[in-house]
Amino acid sequence: MNRPVTILISVGAGFLLLAAGTAAGAATGGNFLLGQANTETTQATLTNTAGTPLKLVAPANAAPLKVSNSTMVAGLNAQYLGGMTAAQVATGGDGFNSAVTVIGSAPIAVASTGPLPAGTYYVTATALLRIADGDLAGFCYITPGAGLPTATAYGGAQVVGWGQTAATTAVNVTEGDTLQYWCYTTADNGSVSFYAGITAIRVLSSSGTPPLRAAGHPIANPPGRPAPHVR
């Protein structure tokens, strides 16, 4: 095998490695040759007991590291994913309320997320309602922004007795918005909400009709029911 010529030049307390020749890079046990395709049959380890063992520097428009396939690297910890920080990617919110909440003609929040980072969220919410005689119907809606009279999705029915409401939507959330699930009936006869919950998961992309914003549209009046008012 035609191996490259290796020259060691003393520089202070160390050596500068130069290589010349036409052979492929070093094999296991040989020198690592810069600018050559190096090959080995056993794992190599680079250790620096005083700090970071390896730093790769490249121009702003070039990746400092390249891998050969998409196999998962166990234990790899990275700051960015698709240009977003870990905090921006792994985000969402949820709320669950198992208490009995009295609902009436004035909408009241029965479940709420905490404040959320800005982004587009897939949101789903549910509540078990007990509609009292005389109230005729129960409705719930998802709203972005605590207490805002804005509905992005409705659930409910014209029914007396037990009923399950559910709503699903995509919402554009501004920084610090809180998504809530509000419920109301057509009168004030003691209807209640049980086991209300809301879950919001941020998505990195969306398609189709653009998601609503907090100022998307006012609370709609369900067919055949009086328009609600905000308490």
pLDDT grade for 1, boundaries at 50, 70 and 90: very low
- Radius of gyration of the CA atoms of the chain, in A: 31
Q: In whole angstroms, give the CA distance from residue 164 to residue 154.
A: 12
The pLDDT value given to residue 77: 85
Mean of pLDDT values over 9-16 = 47
Chain centroid to CA 219: how far?
28
pLDDT grade for 14, boundaries at 50, 70 and 90: very low
Strand partners, 46: none
Both 38 and 115 in one domain: the answer is no
Both 94 and 198 in one domain: the answer is yes
Both 95 and 185 in one domain: the answer is yes
In a domain, 228, yes or no: no
Both 41 and 109 in one domain: the answer is no
The pLDDT value given to residue 32: 81
Domain with 18, as residue range(s), is 1-46
Is the pLDDT confidence value at 25 over 70?
no
In a domain, 74, yes or no: no
pTM for the structure as a whole: 0.59
Both 114 and 190 in one domain: the answer is yes
**Last residue of some domain: 46, 62, 78?**
46
Strands (E), 84-146: 84-85, 92-97, 101-102, 108-112, 119-131, 138-144
Q: In whole angstroms, give the CA distance from residue 16 to residue 3.
A: 19
In a domain, 96, yes or no: yes
pLDDT tens-digit profile of 201-215? 887 665 666 666 544
In a domain, 77, yes or no: no
The pLDDT value given to residue 209: 64
Both 98 and 30 in one domain: the answer is no
pLDDT tens-digit profile of 76-106? 888 877 777 766 665 788 889 989 999 999 8
The number of folded domains in the chain is 2
Both 40 and 130 in one domain: the answer is no
In a domain, 215, yes or no: no
Is the pLDDT confidence value at 231 over 50?
no
CB 197 within 8 A of CB 109: no
In a domain, 175, yes or no: yes
Both 94 and 199 in one domain: the answer is yes
Place of tokens 């921006």: 88
Both 106 and 41 in one domain: the answer is no
pLDDT grade for 129, boundaries at 50, 70 and 90: very high
